[in-house]
Amino acid sequence: MKIAIAQINYHIGNFESNVDKIISSIKKAEKNGAEIVIFSELAIPGYPPRDFLEFRDFVNKCYDSVETVAGYCTNIAAIVGTPVFNENPKGKPLYNAAAVLYDGKVQKYIRKTLLPNYDIFDEYRYFEPNREFEIVEYKGKKLAVTVCEDLWNVTDSPLYVTNPMDELIKFNPDFIINIAASPFDYKQEKLRKEVLKRNAVEYNLPLFYVNHVGAQTELLFDGGSLVMNRKGEIVNELKYFEEDFSITDSEEVDELTPVKPHNPPEISLIHDALVMGVKNYFEKLGFKKAIIGLSGGIDSAVTAVIAARALGNENVYNVMLPSRYSSEHSVNDAVKLAENVKMPYDIISIEKTFSALEETLKPYFKGLPFNIAEENLQARARGVILMGLSNKFGYILLNTSNKSETAVGYGTLYGDMNGGLSVLGDVYKTRVFELARYINKDEEIIPENIITKPPSAELRPDQKDSDSLPDYKILDKILYLYIEERKGPKEIVNEGFEPGLVKRVLKMVNTNEYKRYQTPPILRVTPKAFGMGRRMPIVAKYLL
């Protein structure tokens, strides 16, 4: 049986576009001799639709869309992800399902059994788990159709008491089909392939896997759909970070030569994911141009280059906003970068704005010495100017804060934390340097001085980040152990860090939760990003 895999970039709630893409792939599959074409989990509405699922009208549109797609499945079958109503009066109102379409209509729905409810996943909020198992029979073949997490209970620490494939194998299927929405992080590809391999080997079956590709606000999907033989070897692999299409004959899977493994460096994956994330965020919102406060520092430099690669250099407007404390080389470095990338730029001094704010507040500051209040006034003056330009010309302001700063609160609300999208908010500072080096791997795009000079906010004379923060190499290791690995203070100290420093860093993380609640969406590239996958209380007293 020739099986087509359609790896598509869907748009949540854009039923017309999603259906058009699905129908186009069905026609392509049929024209090229495929007998069945598979689409990813919740392909019809896009993933994750979240609380749109609470609107009956939204789900009804899913039903209408499935019926439209089914009309094109007269000489070919399709499997497409969609929500369906739970007709039982008990339980959650919906199922997450795979609609099986052929002979011009919906033949059956295969419902998802295992509903992830961890990290960014919240499926049990909406869906009822399946409790009855069946296979799909089509043209003399038996298909074990599963939905994403249904294959994930084969890890060394299983989360569920049920394993759907243990039930489906009883029907003697010919192969496994898994339709998925597996979000990207830089570790996910290897984990995903290991999970799929365990299924192919354990059940001694070829496996056809289709994944989403594209960005849905902060969630990034890398694609990488594939076909495995029963030995767990990949014999066909689709592209990463872009739409793709492929056909494989199920009868030939075990005879095909395994493909060369996709194994790029982590920093390459992160770079490509961020470029795709920015590109899709703008496209799906209908915007074309970005504005960035280009400081001459490494964070804004890396953000600007990523934006230029995503949107086109002519669509990234860079504004240098020097103050009385800005060094001349910072402005020069920023100008050189803008010229290297051929991005438009302007230099707007904040001195008049800052001086006016100082003069206005002087009677009320009661003669107290210069401190963080005046530093933040500068950051907020920049924020006002950037947002003014954003409003006037319809730009989206890109936030340039990195994960290290976001973690410890080293940023100013309503100032440098402004923005419609945070590009580097899930990238630690040490990784930002890696990104800069990766960007410069073929030629100097980011001026060397931006990469090598000591990081500084330049909000007071001779200021350096190291005045307020530990060395980033040390800070990032502590943050990783606390945020990604969820280790407590004693465990982190046992890793070789000074107890007082650990206590200080963890306190900074926890006391600045209120700031993170007010940040723009952060593109997720690690297994534990700030945002929808990390839910912490603000008024808490843990480790304070």
Q: Mind listing the pLDDT tens digit of every residue in the chain (544 residues)?
A: 999 999 999 999 999 999 999 999 999 999 999 999 999 999 999 999 999 999 999 999 999 999 999 999 999 999 999 999 999 999 999 999 999 999 999 999 999 999 999 999 999 999 999 999 999 999 999 999 999 999 999 988 899 999 999 999 999 999 999 999 999 999 999 999 999 999 999 999 999 999 999 999 999 999 999 999 999 999 999 999 999 999 999 999 999 999 998 999 999 999 999 999 999 999 999 999 999 999 999 999 999 999 999 999 999 999 999 999 888 888 999 999 999 999 999 999 999 999 999 999 999 999 999 999 999 999 999 999 999 999 999 999 999 999 999 999 999 999 999 999 999 999 999 999 999 999 999 999 999 999 999 888 777 787 787 788 899 999 999 999 999 999 999 999 999 999 999 999 999 999 999 999 999 999 999 999 999 999 999 999 888 7
Q: What per-residue confidence (pLDDT) applies to 328?
A: 83
d(CA 411, CA 376): 9
To the nearest 10 degrees (0 to 180), the angle between helices 298-311 and 429-439 is 50
Q: What per-residue confidence (pLDDT) applies to 5?
A: 98
Q: Are 38 and 76 in contact (CB under 8 A)?
A: no
Q: What per-residue confidence (pLDDT) applies to 235?
A: 98
Location of structure tokens 């990104």: 435
Closest CA to 101 of 76, 133, 83: 76
Closest CA to 72 of 31, 15, 133: 31
Location of structure tokens 């860093």: 505
Q: What are phi and psi of 540, to 5 degrees?
A: -130, 165
Q: Are 168 and 135 in contact (CB under 8 A)?
A: yes
Residue type, 419: G
C-alpha torsion sign, points 13, 14, 20, 24: negative
d(CA 316, CA 310): 10
Q: How many CA atoms lie within 13 A of 315 on its CB side?
A: 19
Closest CA to 162 of 131, 123, 134, 188: 131
Instruction: Cite the active site residues.
Output: 41, 112, 148
Q: What per-residue confidence (pLDDT) applies to 459?
A: 75
Q: Is 413 helix (H, G, I), strand (E, B) or coil?
A: coil
Q: What per-residue confidence (pLDDT) applies to 6?
A: 98
d(CA 329, CA 395): 27
Kind plus residue range of the DSSP H or E element containing 136: strand 136-138
pTM of the model: 0.96
Residue type, 248: T
Q: Is 183 helix (H, G, I), strand (E, B) or coil?
A: strand
**The two three-digit tokens of residue 101, written as one number:** 């379409």
**The two three-digit tokens of residue 221, written as one number:** 């999907």
Which residues, in sequence order, are CB contacts of 219 under 8 Å at separation 6+? 48, 120, 183, 524, 532
249 exposure class (CB count in 10 Å sphere: 0-12, 13-18, 19+): middle
d(CA 292, CA 422): 11
Q: What per-residue confidence (pLDDT) applies to 107?
A: 98
d(CA 276, CA 242): 8
Condensed to tens digits (0 to 9), the pLDDT of residues 462-518 reads 778 778 889 999 999 999 999 999 999 999 999 999 999 999 999 999 999 999 999
Q: What are phi and psi of 198, to 5 degrees?
A: -60, -40
d(CA 406, CA 427): 10
Give me the domains of the chain, ranges plus CATH numbers. 2-252 (3.60.110.10), 269-465 (3.40.50.620)
Q: What per-residue confidence (pLDDT) applies to 544?
A: 78
Closest CA to 222 of 197, 247, 192: 192
CA end-to-end distance (rounded Å), the chain = 61
**The two three-digit tokens of residue 302, written as one number:** 């890396």
Taking the CB of residue 30, how many other CB atoms lie within 10 A of it? 18
